[in-house]
Amino acid sequence: MTQPDLPTVRLLPKSKPQALRRGYPWVYANELVVDRRTRNLAAGTVARLEDNERKLLGLVGVTPSSKIICRMLDRNPEASIDKAWLAAKLTRALELRTRLFPAPYYRLVHAEADGLPGVIIDRFGDTAVIQPNAAWAELLLPELTEALAEVAGVKNILKNAGGRGRQLEGLDDQDAVLLGQAPEAPLPVEMNGATYMADLTGGQKTGLFYDQRPNHGFAARLASGQKMLDVFSHVGGFALAALAGGATSALSVDGSASALALAEEGAKRMGAAERFATRQGDAFDTLEALGTEGERFGLVVCDPPAFAPAKPALEAGLRAYEKVARLSAPLVEEGGYLVLCSCSHAADLSSFTGACLRGIGRAGRRAQLLHTGFAGPDHPLLPQLAESGYLKALVFRL
């Protein structure tokens, strides 16, 4: 499609384009003129966006059936959204990561914050995993794959179709190998002195959570000489970092047997297997059981999934975070440390902190807040989009 052939979509008169001009990347369905022509656009169509005075605002990817009906791709309405455009975005993203990290293990593209709305790319050496969570990116996946191979020099590119946003965009859930081949076994990834096993084809998300890297490191500084508990541990995120930091022992709790097996393999490769144990089961039940058993730890970390992934779930989510704090606080020794995390963008820092403090208080404990952590710099924040700053980690001394 040549540039003159691009369709045009228009904001409603009541819509205010100021936020878009200041960098907000989304247009909601109730802000756009959705006539028959717009409804008939194929999901992912690149279109010109006009305000209600017919002034061009830029190029957007349009998904007529989605609540987020337009995603801003380029403020220049004459740009060409093609392989060269994608390569320029990837080059800019790569320059940042290579400056920040000595080894090629990081989030290479963090969606809107890297100028590729809805696109997640995690890199594991010469293998990359793409989550194209927006229809425009799904349509341009062949070009994105080629550009990624050329810019980053990766040999293997996998598509992960497990992103929650894909269903909202009307996309399938079929994973695929886009280039090269999928690794036959989980890949070892070194971070904070620990070894993590990343299952790129059968694990959660893209195989590993890079976002907690700085928070793993901070918690590891508190772990020396401590008995440590890691709840919702996945593949041992905080536990293995704590072992690398000198913890006397670490116990990982998770509902997934396969994730705990990967954690055990990581501990083995670190030479820390004798200091590491796992316990499979529901996190809330296990926290209660550990309290009944009289267990106490110098460092307790709880890093649950998103209890409040969207605003309708906010109140229930905050109650769940409060419960986590209430059940985990009694397990912390006097003068010990409690790390509570949230990856719910709907629960802002103030609300999450309040829920945690209520839970700690209900447990009869008092707390000092030592540190507030966020996602690592390979997960940059788009200031105009609060949702891109989803991760919070609160470090308390009880």
Q: Which residues have a catalytic role annotated?
A: 343
Task: Mention every residue, 6+ apart, whose C-beta is less than 8 A from residue 248.
Answer: 225, 226, 227, 275
Dihedral sign computed on CA atoms, order 250, 251, 255, 257: positive
Q: In whole angstroms, how far apart are CA 291 and each of 229, 241, 395?
A: 12, 24, 21
Of the candidates 104, 261, 127, the one whose C-alpha atom is nearest the C-alpha of residue 190 is 104
Q: Residue written as tokens 């807040």?
A: 369
Q: Residue written as tokens 């205010």?
A: 16
- Find the helix packing angle between 314-328 and 283-292, rounded to 10°: 30
User: Counting beta carbons within 10 angstroms of the beta carbon of residue 326, is it exposed (0 to 12), middle (13 to 18) or buried (19 or more)?
Assistant: buried
Chain centroid, CA 217 distance in Å: 18
Q: In whole angstroms, how far apart are CA 235 and each of 4, 210, 376?
A: 50, 12, 18
Helices (H) and strands (E) in the chain, counts: 12, 19
Q: CB 350: neighbour CB atoms within 10 A?
A: 8
DSSP letter string over 303-372?
A: ----S-SSGGGHHHHHHHHHHHHHHHGGGEEEEEEEEEEE--TTS-HHHHHHHHHHHHHHTT---EEEEE
The H-or-E segment that residue 128 falls in is strand 127-132
Tokens of 53: 């005075």
d(CA 47, CA 287): 51
Q: In whole angstroms, how far apart are CA 193 and each of 54, 180, 270?
A: 56, 30, 9
